[in-house]
Chains A and B, each alone.
Chain A
Amino acid sequence: MSVLTVVYAILFYAATALLLVGLGYRIYLFWKTPAPLKIPTTPAPTTRAGVVYRLGREVVFFESLFRSTKWTWLFGWIFHFGLLLVLLRHLRYFTDPVWTWVSLIQPFGKYAAFAMVAGLLGLWARRLFVDRVRYISAPSDHLILALLVAIGGSGIMMSFVTRTDIITVKEFFRGLMTFSWGSIPTLPADFFLLVHLLLVAALMAIFPYSKLLHGAGVFFSPTRNQVDNPRERRHLAPWAAQLENNGK
């Protein structure tokens, strides 16, 4: 095993730990923080099933964004669904044997990378050229886009230009996942592979500590996930109930 292999192995364990612990903690925090008042943006569903349907439309179609700005919606949707396909395609590197449906999407998954990068570039162009969006952008907003573009770009290079020894890469990750360190092969020292993996580890590590949290936040947003039934049901948060007991 090369030093490089050891460094990358440690890197991925660390990144995974940061991702799981950070995301787990944030979700726990969102979960346990009470929403003391009914604040759904109305018109809102009056049943739980209606809320599931509303959230489903937000997550799958970005419905509110569609109402809001068509260009951002278009680029954003292409990026996210490109990303989703790409991620699903990547399951082939972590499963053995490869699930059938993962094999089936493989041909689309490969080209989804282009859609993903195109979407990102569109979003970045808006961030650079629309004065309002430029005004609200911090350096980190540009960096996250750069990071994702670089991940997509280095991936595309490997898929379509300078192939790497993917079988060995898969054995490396299977070894990490099953904690069978003895059988971990030496990672190929290919430039694009090492860049790709390094950036992916960086993305995993920053996910819970950055705006990428929106992927979890959308499910916890009271304006979207509350049922519109305040007259039928009292909605009392624990701290508000306490106020009531002490106050009167």
Chain B
Amino acid sequence: MAKADFEVPELKEYPEIPSITPGVMAHSRPFIAKPEHQEPLHFPGELVDNWQEKAIAKMGELQGKYRSLQVYLDSCVKCGACTDKCHYFLGTKDPKNMPVARQDLYRKVYRRYFTFAGKYFPKLVGAVDLTKEVLDDWYSYFHQCSQCRRCSVFCPYGIDTAEISMAAREVMDSIGVGQKYCNEIIGKVFRIGNNLGLPEPALADTLEGLEEDVEDETGVKVRYPLDEEGAEVLLITPSADFFAEPHVDGLIGYGKVFHQAGISWTLSSAASEAANFGMFIGSYENMRRVSLRIREAALDLGVKRIVFGECGHAWRVAYSFLNTLAGPFDFLDPRYPVPQHICEVTHDLIQRGALTLDKSANDDMVLTYHDSCNVARASRMGNKPGGQFSIPRDIIKASCNHFVDMAPDTIHDSTFCCGGGGGLLTDDLMEIRVKGAMPRMQALKQVVEENGVTHMAAICAICKSQFTKVLPYYGFSMDKIVSVHQLVSNAIVLGDKE
């Protein structure tokens, strides 16, 4: 087991709703962004002098721009239905991690400055001034929300705490209180092209290495092209796919699928990143700037289709927002949706019999599947609602013989977040990441014990990195997590079809 300087939650036989323990996670706060992380995003470098006034003005501005924010601030009835739905509450017992209490951190200030009752009867409706203490609470607890939207599934009005977290982070950024992790990464995307800061030569090198490895292993020359003009498909994938385990096994899989289907494709060094952390900080402007790179790359390379690799929030931005942020994509082949997910492409090829898969290649594994929150609750695959659940499962079942689902209230749109989404995938937030993973770990433990599950597949780069890190805290080995296209890669029969 990994060593921790905090208490790792115990995995119980059955899920339990803990009694509340106020304040236990108040100390959890990520590193603050330095001026050099803030400025490329057009945010002030440090806390501005009249921050209170500025923050309140920003809140007013956002209420006028986002119907979600205005309606959600006004509509919560405090029914409590969401209180036991957040993995961070279940894992920490801190009541401010209950979705409604997290919203209330913002709502209390909203009421104080923007509503009649809060202006004249603050005590009655629980309205408070925006003090330094309140700002500190915001910084702590709005960085303990992975924007997974599980709460919005269960709220009678669909109140989505993610919308409030995004607004709060935007307000904080606008007064100079940014989160280092997210803002530094967005800066790297602008400067270099991807979250990891891999420049073009390093990418070219890595891809060449992959080609050699695959050829050594299979005897087939599968290509992993970069910046090839005139390719049919532009593949946009999270940069973790270029080197981290198990991500890279997924990338190898995409290449094999394209190879077998005879589809020409390319990566782009300018847009070598699917992730769009602009969403996490609620910044439309930055999310749009990041998205426009993809449009430009598609135009520069003259491709006909855009396909996204395995990623969760990137797929949300791609599926739900890309057309809005960087469209219209009328210069691409109208026969395909823009963009497509690699799982849609692979699934379609399997359906048409274009791929030969030898399931026995994965016989050393009994698999389960982790629905990533942004894929499950904020996007779709295929043309029917719920395709985001069936398509990845169909691919897994076509690639292996042994598949078991986890408990029904922990999958599909009830899925639990991995604990590392929403801009929390950073070492300075290790405690909340480990604790937030508890509900998923518990569901996993159950199928491990009852069904002999050996591996969990996922299609999100953040989930994969997060699980690699936190599995050991719960006594599992870090290689229990695999990419869906890793399974495809193992099973696919390369070469001419018989």
A residues whose Cβ falls under 8 Å from a Cβ of B:
26, 29-30, 33-39, 41-46, 58, 62, 64-65, 67-69, 72, 76, 123, 126-127, 130-133, 135-141, 143, 209-211, 213-214, 216-218, 220-224, 228, 230-237, 239-240, 243, 247
Contacts and interface: CB of A to CB of B under 8 A. Distances in A.
A37 B324 contact: yes
Contacts of B328: 234
Contact of A64 (B76, B156, B324): B156
A191 B9 CA distance: 57
Contact of A136 (B19, B98, B337): B98
B116 interface: yes
A224 B157 contact: yes
Contact of A42 (B70, B154, B321, B385): B385
B310 interface: no
30 contacts: A30-B71, A35-B67, A35-B68, A36-B66, A38-B321, A39-B68, A39-B163, A41-B158, A42-B379, A42-B385, A42-B388, A45-B385, A64-B155, A68-B154, A72-B79, A130-B80, A132-B84, A136-B80, A138-B78, A141-B78, A209-B116, A214-B75, A214-B157, A220-B67, A222-B158, A224-B158, A228-B380, A228-B385, A240-B284, A243-B288
B63 interface: yes
Nearest to B159: A221
Contacts of B74: 26, 211, 213-214, 217
Contacts of B327: 234
Given A67-B153, A231-B337, A39 B378 contact: yes
Interface of B: 17, 19-20, 22, 63-68, 70-72, 74-85, 95, 98, 100-101, 104, 115-117, 123-126, 149, 152-160, 163, 284-285, 288, 319-321, 323-324, 327-328, 337-339, 376-380, 383-386, 388-389, 413
A50 B107 CA distance: 31
A97 to B, nearest CB: 37
B156 A231 contact: no
Contacts of B158: 41, 58, 64, 221-224
A132 B98 contact: yes
Contact of A36 (B65, B79, B82, B337): B65
A132 B68 contact: no
Contacts of A237: 65
A132 B80 contact: yes
Contacts of B157: 58, 214, 217-218, 221, 224
Nearest to B104: A136
B376 A42 contact: yes
Given A33-B66, A64-B154, A136-B100, A240 B324 contact: yes
Contact of A230 (B85, B104, B116, B319): B319
A138 B121 CA distance: 12
A42 B384 CA distance: 11
Contacts of B152: 41, 223
A213 B75 contact: yes
B268 to A, nearest CB: 20
A43 B323 contact: no
Contacts of A45: 385
A62 to B, nearest CB: 6
A226 B66 CA distance: 14
B133 to A, nearest CB: 18
B324 A230 contact: yes
Contact of A131 (B19, B70, B324, B379): B19
A231 B84 CA distance: 34
A247 B75 CA distance: 34
Q: Which 10 residue pairs of A and B lie closest in terms of their CB atoms, listed nearest first?
A: A217-B75, A138-B126, A223-B158, A43-B385, A133-B80, A68-B154, A132-B83, A68-B81, A224-B158, A33-B67
A221 B64 CA distance: 15
Given A140-B124, A222-B71, A234-B323, 19 more contacts: A34-B65, A35-B68, A37-B320, A37-B324, A39-B68, A46-B384, A64-B154, A64-B158, A76-B156, A123-B79, A138-B124, A139-B125, A140-B126, A216-B75, A221-B68, A223-B149, A224-B158, A234-B328, A243-B288
B67 A211 contact: no
